[in-house]
Structure 1
Amino acid sequence: MTETPDIIYTQQFVAANVQYLDYSEREEAVDLLNDFDLETGESNIQHDVDENLAGYLGYTDRKAATKLEDGLTGVYPTFTQDSLNLTHKQHHELADKIREAQKNKSMLWQGVVSFNPDFLERAKLYNPETGVVNQRAIKRAVQKAIPEMLKQEELNVPETFWWADVHLNTNHVHVHVGISQIKNTRPLKFGEPKGTFQTKSLKKIKSVVHREVEDKISREHDINLEKKIDELKKDVVDQLKENLQQQQQQKMLEQIWYALPKYKDKRRWRASNNSYDFREAKLLAGKLVDDLLKTDLNQDYEKYLSAIKQKNSDNREKYGQNIPDYIPEKQKDLHDYLMNRVFDELRKVDVVSTKSNFSERVKWLGIEGNNELIEVLSKQLKNTKSDIKAKKLKKEIGIRKYYVGILIKENKNKNYLDQISELKEKGLKNNFQDYLINDLQEKYRLGVLQLIPRNKRDNDNKTEYQKLINKHVDVSQISVKKINEEIVAQKNQYLDEWLKVVKNTKDPNVQIYLKNQGLKNVNLPEYVDLQKRIMQAKLAIKDNNKKYADNISLRNQKNGKLFKELKEDYEQLKNINSKIDLNQTQIRLNQANNSKNVSRQKNKSLAKKENTERKPKNSVSPRLLSKLSSALTSVKKEGQERINALRRNLDKEDDFEKQDRIDEIETETGRSMER
């Protein structure tokens, strides 16, 4: 069941009409005194709001208005920005303004603020036993809120005026609001003044009224929550600066520096820049921030998220469940803020003549980051018309694909070593353990040899490589041209021996091996037979190519059936391998989560030890390192000063966000002038 929000505000617009003033003041709806009895009835305030809005147009009750005037000795319950209860003179002046607006065909905005009685009771503005409502406090809250809403709509001009009445004749307390202009200042749309208000403007009146009406205890809760968010954000940013000073983070910062495009206007180094030439630097900076938020900064970051979620929950209770979830927006704000602080300091670093270590950047960006960048570069290549630019893009794409291949092999090798260690530590000493450890060691050794360029392998390496590749090769990667009886025989022998061992699924060594290889719940005999069939089909195709070289028609006839079977087997093998990859990915994720805290402490100790015990090997000039070090120090100092402007009130814009937008506007202006 959906909870009823504390406040609802609904608004519509029509041409200005003086009768609306009479409607909002009718006697059965208003009470100049501060007490009334809430009528019993339905509890859904949205229902009340809809009914009231539906009755605005053309509604007149002169008789009720006259009674009210007679009974109140010249004082009206209507209030405006300057008065809580209008005099006769003020009332006539207001009516004249509405007539003038009507004459000039200005817009009339009719709004209803509806309060949940439970909220008013919590705010100590309504006593359910006596039925007394503190109208004065409600009026002052509306007087505070409407100007802020008008400012959002650029209606805070002398031509604008408004009035309102507190209505007590429905299930809930309502404030009926009228807004108009003596002379229209709004932009025209289809020949008429623009009538709709922005969503954030309508949200503004609810938030300000709520803030002004709620009791002191609740207000202190919000203030304390926002202070907590400020402090937690400060902790996250301060820890960022501290970690950046470590050797590893300084190395990461160095790679970001190398990747930054040489813009004439370096203010374009912003998290909001989506240009393809800035993509690598942005990905590197984003990866740095992501890694820190997941490791060193994780504890404070989780507390920050908890506070934001609490604030989001409070807002939904106040304004209803249909308000947007702003948690992702706040996460992105923090992420972009941390990235921009890094870019800010790098802008201050002078250009130093030094060789960019491209391979280091590619390696640190990782497989996922490089694949994302390759996709961006490929789209750019597809759309480019310049041969020179196309050649440059092709070269970079090729280099990145090459390095991605290396990274994949390195990750596999590390995984093999981890599996060997686990077998030795947790397995049972027997023949199965010896075989499986040897199997993993051979695969690791093959991976090491594959990382050595072919022209740099000596004869011993070449012999060892060929022996291992024949044994452990992926059958889908063997070409028809290169396959032969020797390769098939060696591979079949290995598969038979391997299956004989891994079929012993009750052995603890086999269980560990199958789990880490992603082979759990895989039909192993079927997996082996499938690989054998694929090799046999390729061998038969090669034999037919040789035997029927002079009879293409007969060769195609013989091979047609084989290719069809091969295609089906490939699809089946692909499905099994996908399942294996998925299992291995899940295992790595679980291992990463389990070892996160241990790894975090280990990395801190290792970084501290490296900083104190040995001087880092640097391939860059001391001048650049010095400037990067100074930049990191400035990030810490500047971040500490500017963080005080963050999140003083979650309904207001952050100072740093404003400055970021100013920088972006100035940058765009500068770029336009350059063009």
Structure 2
Amino acid sequence: MAKTGEIAAFALGEKKTAMVNLPAQFVTSGTADMKGQKYSDLVDYANNSEKTSDHNNESITDLIDLKEQFSKPGYANRNSAVTETHPIFGREKLNYENHDISVLRKDLDEAQENGNNIHELAFSIRGDWLVKNNLYDPETRMIDQNKLKHAEQDVAKTLITKGFNLPLGEDENDVVWFGVIHQDTDHLNMHLWFAKKSRETRPEMLKQEGKYKGQPIGVIPLEVIEQAKRKFRNQLMSSQELKRHQAILKGVGGFTKEIVETVPENLLNDRHAKAIKQIYDALPQDMKGQWQVGNTKLSSGKGKMAKANLLTDQLLDDLFSKELKPEYEGFKSLAQEYDAINIEDQGVMHMGQRKWSENKEDELKKRLANQLYKHLAQIEDTSINDIDQQMSELLSHVKKRDKSNNIDKTKIASSPQGQKLPSQPLINNVNPNSKHKGDQLPVRGSSFNKISRLWRQDIRAETNAERQFLRNQKKVEQEKAQEGHESQISRNM
């Protein structure tokens, strides 16, 4: 990241660069003490024109090592990087005045004296993304700094409360944090520094072994940082961009729901009888009742479920290429459209990094496979020979029926969409000692009709649960909006 030497002269046209990067770093109090540095050196009083020499900061690229920042007095609010007279902000205020800075310095020094780490996260935001979301006008070089600060205030809560084994502070006032917006590099940068004030004594927050035993934990898990990035991005998106994202996600969800609901009638019929029989045979019987794909892809070829998973993956691919081709292609097309959005927001994928569409496809296949395994477990144990014989009889009868009805399957398979073979029940719940009737395939104590019925019941239960969740979410959002409205009214009174 290069220093431009100008304010808000951000680079544009960088389509392969992430919308926001969020590097995180921390410094221990011991390291700072050893070098004679103070946490409070990061900030100075708001009117820092005499206290901070811009000449000392000419070589700064902004996202420098936190240890280096202490050696540059007033690094956070240096004149060359900010436009506001009072650029520092925190939990309660968007602009800290001199008294606020005095309190902030005192709290930072208290945190250092009590042996706590100081953490920094830097949001590096691409100019194109700022323009697209109405946060930056390249003509006037005006930035919506208040909206950016509000977003960082919200993200700070996430990092401070969820970034460690326990909330960093033992109460709301036990954490000191501040932020600033820097505008003198080719990307807009927002910094966030925070530290616990009182001495840390909680075992969950201290290193329990190794070289740093007894010292406060410093590393924030990557998944928390990613969560913070998503929250920050969603806070700042324009309503138009949010609607575009939501429309695609809603479409993907709609196709997913349609596929899940229609799989039983398309899967549990005579065309797939042989494939399902092979899957049943491949399932490890010593794990019956615990058949799950697990933490792997269906096609990974690993574990005791590997053979059944591979066969199920092939079965689903066959289903998606024929009976459910329109629904699956719609699902995949929208999911790939969301991949393009992610590249716009997060930059070009790294080698080995999986696309969002690939993860969604894996989730869909796992869901369908696990449902199939769950209901195949309804089939009671019987000998391999019995099942083979029953399957052979069923397929033989299907051929006779097709011949007698003069059905040209090849013609039907190539006919326009919508002209599908009628779904036939694979197994009916009949007496295991009786002879098969029609297309019925006897299996002891269970049937694919029962499996299909149970599968549908599960789908309805899942759908109802999802609807209830969405209703609850909508209620929470409405309550938040009302609270915000009431708060705004009280501030204006």
Aligned AA (1:338): L
**For 1:316-355, what aligned pairs fall within 5 Å after superposition?**
316-322=343-349, 324-326=353-355, 327-347=357-377, 349=378, 352=380, 354-355=382-383
Pair 1:290 & 2:317 matched: yes
Q: Cα gap change, 1:103/1:131 in structure 2, threshold over 3 Å: closer, same or farther?
A: same
Q: Cα gap change, 1:264/1:312 in structure 2, threshold over 3 Å: closer, same or farther?
A: closer
Which residue pairs with 1:639 in the alignment? 459
CA shift, 1:7, in A, is: 1.8
CA shift, 1:63, in A, is: 13
CA shift, 1:55, in A, is: 4.4
CA shift, 1:315, in A, is: 1.4
**For 1:526-605, what aligned pairs fall within 5 Å after superposition?**
598=414, 604-605=420-421
Pair 1:190 & 2:13 matched: no
CA shift, 1:57, in A, is: 3.9
Supply the distance in 1 between the matched residues of 2:105 and 2:412 (Cα, whole angstroms). 70
Supply the distance in 1 between the matched residues of 2:320 and 2:260 (Cα, whole angstroms). 10
Supply the distance in 2 between the matched residues of 1:8 and 1:354 (Cα, whole angstroms). 58
Which residue pairs with 1:616 in the alignment? 439
Q: Cα gap change, 1:244/1:25 in structure 2, threshold over 3 Å: closer, same or farther?
A: farther
CA shift, 1:164, in A, is: 0.9
Pair 1:126 & 2:136 matched: yes
User: Could you tell me the TM-score, scaled by structure 1's length?
Assistant: 0.49
**For 1:453-492, what aligned pairs fall within 5 Å after superposition?**
none
CA shift, 1:138, in A, is: 0.3
Aligned AA (1:56): Q
Match of 1:94 among 78, 85, 104: 104
Q: Cα gap change, 1:112/1:239 in structure 2, threshold over 3 Å: closer, same or farther?
A: same
CA shift, 1:89, in A, is: 5.5
Which residue pairs with 1:135 in the alignment? 145
Aligned AA (1:605): L
CA displacement 1:607-652 (0-9 Å, x = unmatched): 56999xx82152534x422xx3222122123224425778999xxx
Pair 1:170 & 2:170 matched: no
CA shift, 1:278, in A, is: 4.1
Pair 1:9 & 2:22 matched: yes
**For 1:143-542, what aligned pairs fall within 5 Å after superposition?**
143-150=153-160, 151-154=162-165, 156-159=167-170, 160-182=175-197, 183-184=199-200, 185-187=205-207, 190-191=211-212, 192-249=215-272, 252-253=275-276, 256-257=279-280, 259-263=282-286, 266=289, 268-272=290-294, 278-322=305-349, 324-326=353-355, 327-347=357-377, 349=378, 352=380, 354-357=382-385, 360=388
Contact 2:46 2:97 in 1 (8 A): no
Contact 1:341 1:635 in 2 (8 A): yes
CA displacement 1:177-220 (0-9 Å, x = unmatched): 11222344253553154433333333222222111112110111
Count of residues in Structure 1 that have an aligned counterpart in Structure 2: 390
RMSD of the alignment, in Å?
A: 4.4
Supply the distance in 2 between the matched residues of 1:271 and 1:22 (Cα, whole angstroms). 54
Which residue pairs with 1:373 in the alignment? none
Supply the distance in 1 between the matched residues of 2:365 and 2:107 (Cα, whole angstroms). 50
Q: Cα gap change, 1:360/1:264 in structure 2, threshold over 3 Å: closer, same or farther?
A: closer
CA shift, 1:158, in A, is: 2.2
Q: Which runs of 5+ in 1 are unaligned?
A: 31-40, 42-46, 365-593, 650-675
Supply the distance in 2 between the matched residues of 1:97 and 1:139 (Cα, whole angstroms). 21
Supply the distance in 2 between the matched residues of 1:203 and 1:273 (Cα, whole angstroms). 21
CA displacement 1:399-434 (0-9 Å, x = unmatched): xxxxxxxxxxxxxxxxxxxxxxxxxxxxxxxxxxxx
User: Could you tell me the TM-score, scaled by structure 2's length?
Assistant: 0.66
Q: Cα gap change, 1:595/1:647 in structure 2, threshold over 3 Å: closer, same or farther?
A: farther
Report the secondary structure of 2:421's partner residue: helix
CA shift, 1:107, in A, is: 1.8
Q: Cα gap change, 1:599/1:63 in structure 2, threshold over 3 Å: closer, same or farther?
A: closer
Supply the distance in 1 between the matched residues of 2:238 and 2:219 (Cα, whole angstroms). 32
CA shift, 1:292, in A, is: 1.6
Contact 2:43 2:76 in 1 (8 A): no
Identical amino acids, percent of aligned pairs = 21
Report the secondary structure of 2:179's partner residue: strand
Supply the distance in 2 between the matched residues of 1:204 and 1:174 (Cα, whole angstroms). 19
CA shift, 1:229, in A, is: 0.9
Supply the distance in 2 between the matched residues of 1:300 and 1:638 (Cα, whole angstroms). 21
Supply the distance in 1 between the matched residues of 2:418 and 2:387 (Cα, whole angstroms). 26
Q: Which runs of 5+ in 2 are unaligned?
A: 1-13, 50-57, 297-301, 393-409, 428-436, 470-493
- Worse-matched range after superposition: 134-143 or 106-115: 106-115
CA displacement 1:557-578 (0-9 Å, x = unmatched): xxxxxxxxxxxxxxxxxxxxxx
Q: Which has the larger radius of gyration?
A: 1
Q: Cα gap change, 1:595/1:330 in structure 2, threshold over 3 Å: closer, same or farther?
A: farther
CA displacement 1:211-266 (0-9 Å, x = unmatched): 11121101110111110110111122122122134244466556545554445882
Q: Cα gap change, 1:282/1:52 in structure 2, threshold over 3 Å: closer, same or farther?
A: closer
- Worse-matched range after superposition: 330-339 or 56-65: 56-65
- In proportion to residue count, which structure has more helix? 1
